[in-house]
Amino acid sequence: MDRTPDGTEPPAAGPPSRAPQRPVTVDAEGSAAVSGARLRLRTGGFAAGGGCVARGPDGRVVFVRHSLPGEEVVAVVTDASRRFLRADAVAVLEASPHRVTPRCPHAGPGRCGGCDWQHVSLPAQRRAKASLVAAQLRQVAGLDVDVVVEEVPGWADGYGWRTRMQFAVDPSGRAGLRRHRSHQVEPVDDCLLAAPGIGAAGLLGARWPPAGLIRVATTAAAGGEPTTRQVVVEPRQAARPGHRQPPARLPPHPPAGPPPLTVEVQGRRLQVSAGSFWQVHPGAPQVLASAVTAGLAPQAGDRLVDLYAGVGLFAAVLGPLVAPGGSVTAVESAPCAVADARRNLADLGEATVVAAEVSPALVARQLGRPDLVVLDPPRRGAGTGISAALAGCGARRIAYVACDPAAAARDLRVLLGHGWRLRSLRAFDLFPMTEHVEVVAVVEPGPR
């Protein structure tokens, strides 16, 4: 999934991936495991996607949400194919010692799709994420790495951290969150993940244009009051007959939009407009900027390239460290983010913002020979072509920031195949109560 302007990467509340499921008829061998069937299962380890792996009565793999490894559960099949089943654990016959009671009444089978792991203790969540990251690196990139998922200071209980939310509106005008793998709206009174400055209870208690979207962002931090808040209401767009309705997106410059947010990271004040991407966790910019700085070890005179630069977070933090004599080139394609980046980097004489798509040709022909590279691509990753071009760019180090360990592992495999080596890897729990995790990998050329 690509980044969206409201920072919903990963999704806040299970945005629809397709229409609600219909009962599925499968082959005769699987007749006992169709949608709606109840199965008694023993779960194995977590899989990508947040559920645990089990085996159905016909031998097919079952991905069981709302379960933990080693549990015996009764699960209802929600989707069936010839290769695998999806199911929700609706009863726990033998519970894991790491199971806890979800705080939110909407977190459960058939309910809000945003919190995969409210039933998992925080220490167990982080161990599971570390295991999933390590498995992706080992299986995809051939790397054997001990991974520790670090807690972000200030949010010890894992709640109240989400500073960017997207609420859907049902046909009656009531706002809520999407159900898992569904377009259906789950009306809620509040969201426990939302930062205090979101004002979720007030937004969810109001009436809105039917079938629209509400995007809201705040600068609220732990224990502090928000300085500003953005609220953008998007009415439903009429679909032409016979055409599937595309997902609504913010225009680059909303005609009468809210004022930009102002955030401070390592002494730098940055502007973030309503159409620009920004991290959803309040602690994310600080911990990621610190990890990238430590990994790259910039020096005066270095030439730095920041790819997928957004509003210029990494360029703004690293720019002063390469002065005097250095330079910063920030590459970003979203018009709103480009405008923000130019304002945020205006006081850095050595900084240039390039409005362009990141491509193999741009890396190979337009960036020169950088000393350091920051690579912070959207969820799908940079891809083989860009990764291969970076392998030949002549940089001393590359810092790769990723919200999808699988995509990062694929891109790292390309760099490793061109003779680079992993110098360090850190993982951060920027999305508590979900399976998602952020990683910062630093690579450098291997010995000749």
- pLDDT value of residue 255: 45
Catalytic residue numbers? 403
Nearest one of 353, 299, 304, 348 to 327, comparing CA atoms: 304
Angle 122-141/405-417 helices, nearest 10 degrees? Answer: 30
Beta-carbon contacts of 180 under 8 Å, excluding residues fewer than 6 positions away, are 14, 65, 110, 111, 112, 113
Helix (H) or strand (E) holding 364: helix 360-365
Nearest to 360 by CA among 329, 333, 383, 331: 383
Residue 301 amino acid letter: G
Tokens representing 108 are 């459960």
Q: Where do the domains of the chain lie, and which CATH numbers do they carry?
A: 32-94 (2.40.50.140), 126-154+262-445 (3.40.50.150)
| pLDDT for res 43 | 97
Q: What is the pLDDT of residue 238?
A: 45
d(CA 112, CA 186): 6
The per-residue pLDDT for 308 is 98
Whole-angstrom Cα distance, residue 76 to residue 39?
6
pLDDT in tens, the chain (448 residues): 445 444 443 333 333 333 333 333 333 344 456 778 999 999 999 998 889 999 999 899 999 999 999 999 999 999 998 899 999 999 999 999 999 999 999 998 988 888 889 999 999 999 999 999 999 999 999 999 999 999 998 888 999 999 999 999 999 999 999 998 888 999 999 999 999 889 899 999 999 989 889 999 998 654 445 557 889 898 865 444 444 444 444 344 444 568 899 999 999 999 999 889 999 999 999 999 999 999 999 999 999 999 999 999 999 999 999 999 999 999 999 999 999 999 999 999 889 999 999 999 999 999 999 999 999 999 999 999 999 999 999 999 999 999 999 999 999 999 999 999 999 999 999 999 999 999 999 999 988 6
Residue 407 belongs to what H/E stretch? helix 405-417
Beta-sheet pairing, 213-218 with 164-169: antiparallel
SS3 189: coil
- The answer to whether the beta carbons of residues 88 and 107 sit under 8 Å apart is no
Beta bridge partners of 327: 303
Q: Return phi, psi of residue 431, to 5°.
A: -135, 60
In whole angstroms, what is the distance from residue 365 CA to residue 281 CA? Answer: 35
Sheet holding 185-187, edge to edge: 185-187, 175-178, 164-169, 213-218, 229-234
**In whole angstroms, what separates CA 80 from the centre of its chain?**
27
Decide the pairing of beta strands 164-169 and 175-178: antiparallel
Q: What is the pLDDT of residue 234?
A: 87
The answer to whether 9 and 378 are in contact (CB under 8 A) is yes
d(CA 422, CA 445): 9
